[in-house]
Structure 1
Amino acid sequence: MTTEPESFPRRHARTQRFSLGAPRAFSVAPDGSRVVFLRSASGTDRANKLWVLDVPDGDARSGTAIPPGESRERIAADPGALLGGSSEELSAEERARRERSREGGAGIVGYATDEAVELASFALSGRLFVAELRAGTARELDVPGPVIDPRPSPDGRYVAYVARGGLRVVEAEGGGDVALTEEGSENVTHGLAEFIAAEEMGRSRGFWWSPDSDRLLVSRVDDTPVRRWWISDPAQPGSEPQRVAYPAAGTDNADVRLFVTDLSGARTEVVWDRARYPYLAHVHWSAAGAPLILVQARDQRSQLFLAVDPDSGVTRMVHADEDPHWLDLFPGVPSWSPSGQLVRVADEGGARVLAVGERPLTGPQLHVRAVLDVSDDNVLVSASAGEAAAEPETGEVHVYRVNELGVERVSHEPGVHSAVRSGGVTVLVSHVPDKAGGQVRVLRDGKQVATVASYAEDPGLSPRVRFTQGGARRVPCALLMPREYDGDTPLPVLMDPYGGPHGPRVLAAHNAHLTSQWFADQGFAVVVADGRGTPGRSPAWEKEIDGDFTLSLDDQVDALHDLAKSHPLDLSRVAIRGWSYGGYLAALAVLRRPDVFHAGIAGAPVTDWRLYDTHYTERYLGDPAAAPETYAKSSLVTDEGLSAPAEPHRPLMIVHGTADDNVVFAHALRLSSALLAAGRPHEVLPLSGVTHITPQEQVAENLLLLQVDFLRRSLNLG
């Protein structure tokens, strides 16, 4: 008896998009001797273990790469052994943190190390554990819980952590546990990031050790001013609804303050104009200078880089930025260089550049995305080709070394690359179009000395993708045809975008296009287009959507029509699908442009931007009280949103998780009500108990199958 092979949707769901088993979260010891990372045991195992790779010295002079077998991987912490085989229990706060980071794994999902990368700390089931990375041993520290975000001091003597909304410190050897702040009251927490910091600013933490390990910067968050929403699962009427402090556009944010706190609990408040600059966006504290904070105005058109006197809490301005549209935030900056110069990423001269001190070190050839490491000799950045680049390099992101002498590319193969570096050792993580998953190489002085194996499953499917540009604006596109396609027959089209800020989908990486290829193999020509607002080209490209999200739709249409001139696309049968901003775009498409789009699938769509959070929405659309017309124009539930003629009717499927606390289920309900009032047929697929991500295996699998069925029915494909 032969067993039927599992379908792609089932394997895609079970492996969490073929990400399980892949190594991630790398740290490199400053002496270059160790690389620490997380990885689960197989492509279907969710439980991450903490691993150490002992890096061979290599022979940098000969340029000979040492085979991977000569390096040594070892487990530093196994969650199964540490928990004695018992299942994990997560606190509500930990579940919320994982939702903010879109974390679908289990076991050790995050860790922190001391400066020497000899001690690691992590939480399991709300309990605190530390691992001695040289010895490869792990043990539990007996402390009050549930523990959140434990972090060793730089010297490795202490571990700070949050429990019950208060910050505590314990000796790394155990004992001496003390509270540095009082436990949080109902609405106050210490040492945790508030909702919008974690969701929109890229700041997932709320405390930072001093380089001397004698005090910390600690945030205090009071969300009393924030409106309360109630999120419940209608399928479980006996369960209490979840009470959520959600700062919707135009409403009050949490009150965020910052304190310098010593190990006795004495604290000094950091002083800045919080009324003018309420957003604490970034904190950096290193031996190279005073504590450095980045604070933003609520409209995000001005921001200050402030140095903090840790004794008095007084701040002085190091740099100020202004922009008529908005100021973006970037990973890794601001920071100090080892020589004490300010490192930042700025929009200058029509380009996104790296600046050290007051001098830009890159120009319009590069579009800098993040700062990865700052050393005495150079700055390591990730960047894509800028407007002035000789070649467009559609979908590619590379790693570069930058200093006053010039720019040197570290990654060479076309693809999407990132890196972690310390002590002359660089961990280069590469995703390329023609190889499944990611490849991790360990470089010493630029020469490969080891690799880190991935246990992720092979998808058994290779995308047939062509990277190109479409329309007068040269919109980056990925075009996918069925693998068995004859090359001539006109095909129905499925647009498959995200299409908005922070979410590029046209990536020169194999696994980024697996689902699109699976849809193509169902008989579609799939088009993925990154229009204005998506990152990767220039500040002007990203900021052109200021005050008008509907421009995203214009670029989808232009790209589609341009590609149809050179490819056999059947423009009489065009559908569109998307999730989150892509879901908004899909619904917008069938409502505003029924002349182009014949069916749409809107997953977790933002339908009324007044219901989305402050930091994201106000950045692009402004204050809803001051610019109601802007919100109305981009909304799906206002008269403007439903301004297209009711005929021809275009089928629309709305999919939404009832437990979503990011794009709440009310968005789907309001759109459905507006469509019903306008007499427009549509389908609603509620996902009971599902949040903004769909980790449930059966739900994720069947969701793909139901979408194909809907598209076939709606486009009369039989």
Structure 2
Amino acid sequence: GPLTALVLNREQTDLALLAIDPATGSTKQLLAEHDDAWLNVNVGAPRWLEDGSGFLWMTEAKGAWTLELHDKNGALVRQLTTPGQGLRALAGIANDAAIVEASTEAPKQAVWRIPFDGSAPQALTPPDGVATAEAEHGVVVLHVQPHEGGQHLYALARGARHEIPSVAERPKLTPTTNIETVDLQGRKQFVAITRPQTFDPNRRYPVLLKVYGGPHAVTVVDSLDTYVMDQLYADAGFIVVRTDGRGTPNRGRAWERAILRDLISIPMADQIAALHAIGERHRELDLSRVGVAGWSFGGYFSVMAVLLHPEVFKAAIGGAPVTDWTLYDTAYTERYMRTPQENPEAYKATSALTHAAKLERPLLLIHGITDDNVHLAHTLALVEALYLAGKRAEVIALSATHMVPDPKLNVAREQVQIDFLREHLGPP
């Protein structure tokens, strides 16, 4: 296909797909979209067909992701999927078909073959578990993580399926995690619960809410290997809970865009509501002793949780937290919050700096000093605001970027977090 550019306005509400003539610099618009809230850009699309006769496009215009086939001039040839099929990503093209990742249940993900001629889709992986794919030059590589744990790699080529050997180590434990749903005023929300391997139903356990809570990521997934670290915390004496509220992906356009102009109020309400609902169902969860921990957006959530809701959260661990949205990446922040000039009150209300004087619970802050995503300035600004308000937090600065790649440093960090939670939440 031709050199192609996807351009957005600053608000990210209008999009144009342009074909570019590199010889003259002239452009031709192939399609345009508008969304009153924001447009998500799917990294897999557009994908040009190998013969240049057209391209694949993904759109949320009908309320959820759908896949479309367009001709080389941008005209719609055929809608290849429906909003109800749970499309998530375009993995590539193989033999006159699109290879996509999809599921109608948020924690699960399968790989499907979607023929260009409109004939019936074909499942390439089981419906349970989590599967991803890469497809190019007629070869499809599948990464399959079954519900029960483990992982398998397969290559599909010339009508044959071959398993690719793996030398990856298997975890030495199988998490006890169960996935349940709670009904929150008509909204179904998935919750993952991990109990100690030596769980005693007659005891009450402190609870750790392990959280992300923000855009473009889910934490409740149908693969037990995901919860190995949760099991480590559970075996240290906690019941670990995860849930994904509004603002997270895989639940349709309206669910995700509920957070427009306010990145904390609805995510906070949904996490707390799910926590209370699951605590009512399972009395072994001691909701008088709840800690919260997360990284990146999850670190931001954890800090805000202990500042805004000390009646719910008795201790918090904020890893690499955003503390003020005016300090963060412009494209990301303005997509959800608009500009500080347009939405000043929300920027103030969603800033941890605004609420620093409210701190009355133990707070542990962890940040890599060379973090090039959430800059160390976020934690430094919060520490200063806390000091000026006569408050204190524990602070650990790591020799790391946004994530911690050193295994030994990671082990030490996890142990520090477990010790902090044990100290402030107590034993079962």
- Taking structure 2 as the reference length, what is the TM-score of the superposition? 0.92
CA distance in 2, matches of 1:410, 1:690: 39
Per the alignment, in what secondary structure is the counterpart of residue 565 of structure 1? helix
- Contact 1:368/1:383, CA 8 A, preserved across alignment: yes
Q: Does 1:363 align with 2:82?
A: yes
| 1:614-625 map, 5 Å | 614-625=330-341
Tell me which residue corresponds to 1:381. 100
Name whichever of 374-383 and 310-319 sits farther off.
374-383
Shift of 1:383: 1.6
Displacement of 1:703: 0.7
Q: Matched residues in 2 for 1:509 and 1:484: separation?
A: 21
Alpha carbons of 1:424 and 1:699: their partners in 2 closer, same or farther (altered >3 Å)?
closer
Query: Which residue is equivalent to 1:149?
Result: none
Q: Deviations over 1:523-580 (max 9, x none)?
A: 1110011111111111111111111111211111011011112112101100000010
SS at match of 1:698: helix
Code of the residue aligned with 2:140 in structure 1: it is: T
* Rounded Cα–Cα distance in structure 2 between residues aligned with 1:446 and 1:397: 23
Could you give the per-residue CA deviations for residues 388-425 of structure 1, whole angstroms, max 9, x where no partner exists? Answer: xxxxx341111111231232221115111112234554
Give the SS at the match of 2:16.
strand
Instruction: Write the distance in 1 (CA, Å) between the matches of 2:388 and 2:181.
Output: 40
Provide the rounded CA distance (Å) in 2 between the counterparts of 1:552 and 1:384: 23
Letter in 2 for 1:383: A
Query: For residues 344 and 256 of structure 2, what CA distance do their matches in structure 1 show?
Result: 22
- Three-state SS of the structure 2 residue aligned to 1:584 is helix
Q: Pairwise CA RMSD of aligned residues?
A: 1.8
Q: Secondary structure at 1:591's aligned position in 2?
A: helix
Q: How many residues align?
A: 415
Are 1:566 and 2:281 matched, yes or no? Answer: yes
Distance 1:531 1:560 in 2: 11
Cα separation, 2, equivalents of 1:697 and 1:380: 35
* Separation in 2, partners of 1:572, 1:675: 25
Cα offset for 1:384? 2.6
Query: Which moved further from structure 2: 508-517 or 404-413?
Result: 404-413
Query: Do structure 1's residue 555 and structure 2's residue 267 form an aligned pair?
Result: no
Structure 2: 5+ residue runs without aligned partners? 71-75
The C-alpha deviation readout for 1:34-73, integer Å capped at 9, x for no partner, is xxxxxxxxxxxxxxxxxxxxxxxxxxxxxxxxxxxxxxxx
Structure 1 distance, partners of 2:137, 2:409, is 45
Whole-angstrom CA distance in 1 between matches of 2:182 and 2:394:
32
* 1:617-696 equivalences in 2 (<5 Å): 617-638=333-354, 641-642=355-356, 644=358, 649-687=360-398, 689-696=399-406
Q: Please point out which of 516, 523, 528 is paired with 2:237.
A: 523
The residue that corresponds to 1:123 in the other structure is: none
- Structure 1 residues 424, 335: closer, same or farther in 2, change over 3 A? closer
**2:426 maps to 1:716:** yes
The aligned runs of 1:503-522 (5 Å cut-off) are 503-522=217-236
Distance (Å, rounded) in 2 between the aligned partners of 1:441 and 1:317: 39
In structure 2, how many angstroms separate the alpha carbons of the residues matched to 1:560 and 1:352? 29
Identity %: 38
- State the shift of 1:706 in Å: 0.7
How far apart, in 2, do the equivalents of 1:547 and 1:591 lie?
A: 20
Q: Are the aligned partners of 2:303 and 2:316 in contact in 1 as well (CA < 8 Å)?
A: yes
Asked whether the equivalents of residues 206 and 426 of structure 2 are also in contact (C-alpha less than 8 Å), the reply is no
Matches within 5 A, 1:110-509: 289-337=1-49, 338=51, 340-357=53-70, 358=76, 359-375=78-94, 377-385=96-104, 393-403=105-115, 404-422=118-136, 424-436=138-150, 438-444=151-157, 447-448=160-161, 450-472=162-184, 473-509=187-223
1:585 aligns with: 301
Q: How far apart, CA to CA, are the structure 2 residues paired with 1:514 and 1:675?
A: 34
Partner in structure 2 of residue 596 of structure 1: 312
Once the two structures are superposed, residues 241-277 of structure 1 have per-residue CA deviations (whole angstroms, 9 ceiling, x without a partner) of xxxxxxxxxxxxxxxxxxxxxxxxxxxxxxxxxxxxx
Question: Once the 2 structures are TM-superposed, how far is the Cα of residue 469 of structure 1 from its aligned partner?
Answer: 2.0
In 2, Cα distance between equivalents of 1:440 and 1:376: 20
SS at match of 2:286: strand
The one-character-per-residue Cα deviations of 1:219-238 (angstroms, maximum 9, x if unpaired) are xxxxxxxxxxxxxxxxxxxx
Distance of aligned partners of 1:369 and 1:394 in 2 relative to their CA distance in 1, 3 Å threshold: closer
3-state SS of the aligned residue for 1:479?
strand
Residues 104-130 of structure 1: per-residue CA shift (max 9 Å, x gap) = xxxxxxxxxxxxxxxxxxxxxxxxxxx
Which stretch of the first structure deviates more once superposed, 545-554 or 572-581? 545-554
The answer for the alignment partner of 1:697 in structure 2 is: 407
Does structure 1 residue 540 correspond to structure 2 residue 259?
no
Q: CA deviation at 1:306?
A: 0.4
Aligned residues of 1:334 and 1:342 also touching (Cα < 8 A): yes
1:464-518 Cα shifts (integer Å, max 9, x gaps): 1111223412222211111121334221110001111122111112322111111
Q: Aligned to 2:322, which of 606, 609, 624?
A: 606
State the alpha-carbon separation in 1 of the partners of residues 181 and 83 from structure 2. 20
Q: CA deviation at 1:331?
A: 2.5
Letter in 2 for 1:667: H
CA 1:305–1:539 in 2, change beyond 3 Å: closer, same or farther?
same
Quick one: structure 1 residues 342 and 424, their matched pair in 2 at CA, closer, same or farther if it must change by over 3 Å? Answer: closer
Unaligned runs of 5+ in 1: 1-288, 386-392
Separation in structure 1 between the aligned mates of residue 393 and residue 356 of structure 2, nearest angstrom: 14
The structure whose Rg is larger is: 1
Superimposed CA distance per residue, residues 2-34 of structure 1 (whole angstroms, 9 cap, x where no aligned partner): xxxxxxxxxxxxxxxxxxxxxxxxxxxxxxxxx
- Separation (CA, whole Å) in 2 of partners of 1:716 and 1:499: 26
Corresponding residue for 2:73? none
Alpha-carbon separation, structure 2, partners of 1:445 and 1:598? 58
580-589 or 694-703, larger mean C-alpha shift: 694-703
What is the CA–CA distance in structure 1 between the aligned matches of 2:137 and 2:332, rounded to whole Å?
37
Question: 1:563 & 1:532 partners in 2: Cα distance?
Answer: 17
Q: Hey, what does 1:198 align to over in structure 2?
A: none
Change (3 A) 1:420 1:690: closer
CA contact (8 A) 1:470 1:558 kept: no
Determine if contact 1:378/1:402 at 8 Å carries over to the other structure.
yes
Whole-Å separation in 2 of the counterparts to 1:471 and 1:494: 21
**Secondary structure of 2:103 counterpart:** strand
Contact 2:196 2:231 (8 Å CA) reproduced: yes
Decide which moves more: 301-310 or 354-363: 354-363
Offset, 1:378:
1.8
C-alpha change, 1:309 and 1:418, in structure 2 (3 Å) is same
The amino acid that maps onto 1:604 is A
